[in-house]
Amino acid sequence: MRILVTGATGFIGGHLTRLLTERGDHVRALVRPAADREMLSSLEAEIIFGDVRDCESVERAVKGCDTVFHVAADYRLWVPNPSDMYETNVQGTVNVLEAALSENVHRVVYTSTVGALGIPKNGSPGDETTPVKERDLCGPYKRSKYLAEQKALTYNAKGLPVVIVNPSTPVGPGDKKPTPTGKMIVNFLNGKIPAFLDTGLNLVHVEDVAEGHILAHQRGRAGEKYILGCRNLTLAEIFRLLGKISGLPAPKIRLPYAPVLAVAYATEAVSRSITHQEPLICLNAVRMAGKKMFFDSTKAIRELGISQTPVERALEEAVTWFRKQDFVH
């Protein structure tokens, strides 16, 4: 089977590409010329240079493929020009889906995010059916992924089978960029987190997320969404686990939300008008922390059979990897 993976040099995409090549699939990777290709260096993957924003390179990459895993996305909580993020995440997705439709691809697995899903007001975990509207989502990343997800869903009616996966918060080895969650772990290991907000995340091992993509291709129903997650934890619980794993003290000071939000607005204003650099306190990150990002993965467990590797192992492997890669000083 000939498979295209976009975003193959990223955290999830790199693990997915490795699993596919280990199965013996012919994997083609759409890679930006300036991207770090270290994760692909030891893999038998065909490299096609291009960008999801460039229709010609996308069409060249999709040509002859049976399956497309569209994993590529601009994932940042702060971006100097939000229109760039929308161009990659929304228009880039349309470009990939149009090329797949034209090439009569058998199936597309589109990587969305739990950030594009709703969160119940009563504090219970959200699922694939929890209502959400664009105005409910904060920041260009969540909004752009929500809009891209809505676009992806329309292609089933056009005759292109699309399955959507919504990863929660993947952790584990290989987070080279690193992702915002990886940055949090690195900051913890470097003693840069003296306090925390009362929020929460659903953590999942990145290997389970990569496997979940393959399972979605094999068993997922076209037009359906599947949350690829594992365990809901408060931020305080995450730091306690990291403390136990690393031998470092976990922060014990819980900050009140309102003053932190006010400071975030001030630092954001300075960044936008003066420094044009990412602020020390990211406004979108603080706004997201206003709700616990708890989710229910029952559907993916039941229909796909996604693994539920203990979160402790995922965090331990992440800590070990970051230390070996000299992220910790």
User: E strand or H helix at 55, and its extent?
Assistant: helix 55-62
Catalytic residue, candidates 75, 86, 110, 141: 141
Q: Are strands 26-31 and 45-49 parallel, antiparallel or unpaired?
A: parallel
Q: Which own/partner contact pairs does 190-193 have at CB distance under 8 Å and 24+ positions apart?
A: 190/328, 190/329, 191/248, 193/239, 193/251
Measure Cα distances from 192 to 120, 319, 328 in Å.
32, 15, 11
Backbone φ and ψ for 49, nearest 5 degrees, come out as -80, 135
Nearest to 210 by CA among 74, 314, 139, 86: 314
Find out whether 309 and 301 touch, Cβ atoms under 8 Å: no
Q: Are strands 200-205 and 231-234 parallel, antiparallel or unpaired?
A: antiparallel
Angle (nearest 5°) at CA 211 between 61 and 13:
40
Specify the 3-state DSSP secondary structure of 280: coil
User: Rounded to an integer, what distance in angstroms lies between the CA atom of residue 200 and that of residue 281?
Assistant: 18
Measure Cα distances from 54 to 60, 61, 191 in Å.
10, 11, 42
Q: Which single residue is written with the structure tokens 């730091």?
A: 239
**Residue 257 catalytic?**
no
Find out whether 319 and 184 touch, Cβ atoms under 8 Å: no
| Residue 308 identity | Q
Q: Report the interhelical angle of 139-154 vs 92-102 (nearest 10°).
A: 20
Q: Which residues are catalytic?
A: 141
